[in-house]
Structure 1
């Protein structure tokens, strides 16, 4: 029986072990999509406890705790201590067998704190105190120290067009910063015209951009000014969180009328919303192409399902789920529209429903044009799929229907500075897939082919992303 979380964790063959330990493990990390708070990086925030690093904002853990019968006050409450929250998480951990949270928890304890014991209620206080003592006395446990510890070369945050990027500027101008922090353009607030906050957001954007927004042309003028500013700050990616793709036909006059309706305080119809979102995303794609950026589309989530808890806690608190959308034709039409105009930027497509894996994997080939290796990418297993099973299914679909060798690899998509072992988790899973195929005789492993496989591992872990994003 293998020992849990030993040096060969998830590696089932000798070849997999060799590929991971001698090739994958040594590669730096490019975390090209995450939700870290830039101010924490700029100020190199000092945390008071592991609960603050681990449980603050982590809706993955909150969902598990709620499922385990833990009261909400120990997840998001303001009247409980850090220890009480950690204690309840420790009570939950032994109930997470076969959930990726169990693996992530112990990879993080081991790689950050050197703790190899499994967390449970009996040793929770001992582990809590040991971690807190290290956090208090070792600068490694500040944001920059943790990124340096995990060999993070570049981290791309997620930022609104109206953001000042002041904290990115601080890090950019700090000669002691060893990890580059770059912004990512996330213009969802201007797209979601049905939201009660849309009009106020447009007013804020107009103020920041110093452009009077009165129609679609002036909206794009304001966004272009901010887009240019983001580009000057090193931004190389956009990201769009959408339920589905939109391809409803529209005219400029229709879009202006829809905007006037929303600016007057009336919610557009569903058809009008879809037309506006189509026009908005198309304009964004054109900006990205002109700037040489990569555009990312995360689609397929049903967000804020629990209206009672949304009213109480707001978004991103653990009440989202996988959705069902018939979106292949709309996706194809949207990409084809940009491609026909010669304005299709490098693109990464992330699906949240695994039933769309083969849809995405085949969609890529429709728009590869030979200008860039892997120009259209199948994004790594996202959100509910960023675990062993989900990552294997994504890589298997990409392998049989595209080129796994050109894949730009993993990201954390996280709000925690302790989430970098997710890259290790991915790399171990990748090496295990390849190792199993090699030892089964499915992939040759002699001479030129052996060198190609080893290079393939290093490319997927780091080199492909470095080249693709032109960092």
Structure 2
């Protein structure tokens, strides 16, 4: 029997009541993930647990590499079974890493497996889960239904046709699936050759010629309109940092022509181009009533040798130490000054800047919308018990936890939805601890409402679902 009991992480009777009566059974709104819409539309059935659980999961890949497991068993040409056996061999060594909790929550929550995964039981679990995955309730749509996923928002490039989203809508899949506009390639100007390739794709899908910076903005707005027609109401941006720039010092029209000539930009030219393009996009979002998200602080592709071998998103990214406060303030103020600041969620990756982000969000809450600017949930390297607790505590100390829109998976795995359960348990335990210590009144109905709002109601209202 595993340690995952019905009261896992719940240290007081009040916490147990909050979780079981006010959080556990609520539907899930997963407003940011990286699940492939194609697999939902086609209702994919996975042949085995490796395909649904290990493929694309760079969290597990990093752990296996740290243990000295050969890349053959991670992203290489080993069989699916061999890869799973190596992960099972790794699992006992992940103690105190969130993977240890997630692994056993997922095995128990989806497959009813109440054992600790190890090399000793790996073959049996592989065969048992692979057989289970052939059942109708374990297709992609079945897995979403199992965890009561009411809404989810994928992450989509501006050049995407959204054909699979249209198919999902037409088929009336139980879980509502919406696209999210992710225009990172529109200002990813470090590699001019790659940028020109993106421009070709953007021109083709928007059916426009892109010969100037003005053409680029017209094409991007064309795609924003297209996404809006297909139900999109969110945009997302992954950046190291934002920039405070003098937009009049450098012409984006000139910078664009330099890119067209495959010339590298200076740091200042890049900053002006990125900042100007983002501001124009954000004004488009505001006009259409979208929510905008900014994931800030990662330093990507650190290991160039393995990047060249395995490609991006393979587990070689980390926390950056970029200066954030001044540029973030400048950027948000540019939009707020003209009353064009949309509902905004700010995600921070460096825990030393938790208070910076939480206090910055408060600067731009103007009373027009409940929780208009959000200090977003703990993400990526901070998406673990300690990181979640710190994010909740920081938000509680500086802002209003009661207005928080709650958790998301930010995952590429269809078995990742117990992360919502994990968050809900941690939230209820923290509030329960405050009641036990006498720091909050034992008002079950009121605190229960706060919990339900954070876990579900706030998101549904905030995103207009």
The alignment's TM-score, normalised by the length of structure 1, stands at: 0.97
The correspondence of residues 57-456 of structure 1 with structure 2, limited to 5 A, is 57-77=56-76, 79-136=77-134, 138-175=135-172, 177-195=173-191, 196-251=193-248, 254-446=251-443, 450-456=444-450
What is the CA–CA distance in structure 1 between the aligned matches of 2:250 and 2:101, rounded to whole Å? 53
Cα displacement (A) at 1:252 = 8.8
Structure 2 unaligned segments of length 5 or more: list them.
none
Question: SS in structure 2 opposite 1:88?
Answer: helix
Contact 2:88 2:119 in 1 (8 A): yes
Q: Which residue of 2 aligns with 1:48?
A: 47
Matched, 1:459 2:458: no
Contact 2:250 2:272 in 1 (8 A): no
Q: Which residue of 2 aligns with 1:11?
A: 10
Q: Deviations over 1:204-237 (max 9, x none)?
A: 1011111221222211111111101101111111
What is the CA–CA distance in structure 1 between the aligned matches of 2:75 and 2:233, rounded to whole Å? 34
Q: Which residue of 2 aligns with 1:31?
A: 30
What is the CA–CA distance in structure 1 between the aligned matches of 2:15 and 2:155, rounded to whole Å? 34
Contact 2:250 2:269 in 1 (8 A): no
Structure 1 unaligned segments of length 5 or more: list them.
none
Q: Deviations over 1:8-34 (max 9, x none)?
A: 000000000000011100110000000
What is the CA–CA distance in structure 2 between the aligned matches of 1:17 and 1:94, rounded to whole Å? 28
Question: SS in structure 2 opposite 1:197?
Answer: helix
Contact 2:29 2:152 in 1 (8 A): yes
What is the CA–CA distance in structure 1 between the aligned matches of 2:464 and 2:394, rounded to whole Å? 26
Matched, 1:468 2:462: yes
Deviation beyond 6 Å, 4+ runs, structure 1: none
Question: SS in structure 2 opposite 1:324?
Answer: coil
Contact 2:2 2:115 in 1 (8 A): no
Question: SS in structure 1 opposite 2:181?
Answer: coil
Question: SS in structure 1 opposite 2:292?
Answer: strand
What is the CA–CA distance in structure 2 between the aligned matches of 1:135 and 1:157, rounded to whole Å? 23
Report the aligned-residue RMSD.
1.1
What is the CA–CA distance in structure 1 between the aligned matches of 2:250 and 2:238, rounded to whole Å? 26
What is the CA–CA distance in structure 2 between the aligned matches of 1:130 and 1:275, rounded to whole Å? 55
Question: SS in structure 2 opposite 1:46?
Answer: coil
What is the CA–CA distance in structure 1 between the aligned matches of 2:241 and 2:250, rounded to whole Å? 24
Q: Deviations over 1:39-74 (max 9, x none)?
A: 000001111000100000000000000000100110
Cα displacement (A) at 1:251 = 2.8
What is the CA–CA distance in structure 2 between the aligned matches of 1:63 and 1:253, rounded to whole Å? 41
What is the CA–CA distance in structure 1 between the aligned matches of 2:380 and 2:184, rounded to whole Å? 18
What is the CA–CA distance in structure 2 between the aligned matches of 1:358 and 1:190, rounded to whole Å? 30
